[in-house]
Amino acid sequence: EVQLLESGGGLIQPGGSLRLSCAASGFTFSNYAMTWVRQAPGKGLDWVSSMSGSGGNIYYTDSVKGRFTTSRDNSKNTLFLQMTSLRAEDTAVYYCAKDRVAGSTSPDYFDLWGRGTMVTVSS
Amino acid sequence: EMVMTQSPATLSVSPGDRATLSCRASQTVNSNLAWYQQIVGQTPRLLIYGASTRATGIPARFSGSGSGTEFTLTISSLQSEDFAVYYCQQYNQWPLAFGGGTQVEIK
C-alpha cells in the first residue's frame, strides 16, 4: 500500500527541539522529492521545506531557516525534520507529502499526504 | 515572494448547485497551479494540477481553469461529500505557496 506515516510530534517547551519522521512505503522513495507542510490549528496549509530525492537540493520557508533541518535516509525510506529553537507559532500539524513528478528538482505539487503529527509548543 | 489569495473565504452553496472558487497569484505562475480538497479532520487530497488537469480518480464535476495570475476551480453540481475547504498552491517557483483556502459550506 502506498502511504506516508509521520511520527515524533508532541508537547515541547519554547526553545526546545523535536525530530519528526515520515516513513514511506509502496513507492520508490529515492525517486521522489519530499515535502513538509504544516497546518496551525484552524488555519490553512503552510509549506515548510522540500528535499529532492537524492537529498542534494533542500528548500525552506524563511521562518524556519536556521532552525529546522530536513534530511532523508533513502535506505530506510524515511524523511526527517529536525526542529530546534521552537516557538509558539510553530504549533501545528506537520504533514509530509510526496511530490508528484519522479526525478524532479523543480517546485512541484503533492499527490500523497500522510495523516500528520501534531507539534505543540507551549510552556 | 509569491502571495496566493483565495476568494471568497467562505462560500455557501446548496447541494446540486454550482460552486466557483477563485485563486489569484501576486505574480505569474504560468499554469503551475494545483488545487486540493481538505475535508474536516482529513488529510488534503490533490484535485487538479497544471491548472486544469484532474488528478487520478477525481470526478468530472471538478474542473479547473486559468493561467498566469487568475485561476478558478468549479464544482458543477455539489454533492454532500464536496463540502470542505479548498486550497490552491503554486509550484512555479520557490518558495512554494498555498492560498488561504475557501470553505464551501452547506447553504
Pick the residue from chain B with its C-alpha nearest to A95: B43
**Is the pLDDT reported for residue A102 higher than 90?**
no
CA torsion, ordered A27, A95, A112, B82, to nearest 10 deg: 160
Partner-chain contact B43 A109, CB within 8 Å? no
Smallest Cβ–Cβ distance between B43 and the set A35, A95, A106 belongs to A95
Pinpoint the alpha helices (H) of chain B.
none
Three-class DSSP category at B88: strand
Smallest Cβ–Cβ distance between B95 and the set A61, A106, A113 belongs to A61
**Is the pLDDT reported for residue A103 higher than 90?**
no
Q: Which of A45, A61, A101 to mutate to test the interface with B (most CBs of B within 10 A)?
A: A45
Find chain B residues with C-beta within 8 A of A101's C-beta: none
pLDDT for B80 equals: 93
- B3 and A CB contact within 8 Å: no
pLDDT for A122 equals: 97
**What are the DSSP E strand ranges found in chain B?**
4-7, 10-13, 19-25, 33-38, 45-49, 53-54, 62-67, 70-75, 85-90, 97-98, 102-106
Partner-chain contact B44 A108, CB within 8 Å? no
**Confidence category of residue B65, pLDDT binned at 50, 70, 90:** very high
What percent of chain B clears pLDDT 90, i.e. is strictly above it? 97
Three-class DSSP category at B67: strand
Find chain A residues with C-beta within 8 A of B38's C-beta: 45
CA pair distance A85, A70, nearest whole angstrom? 15
| Mean per-residue pLDDT, A59-64 | 97
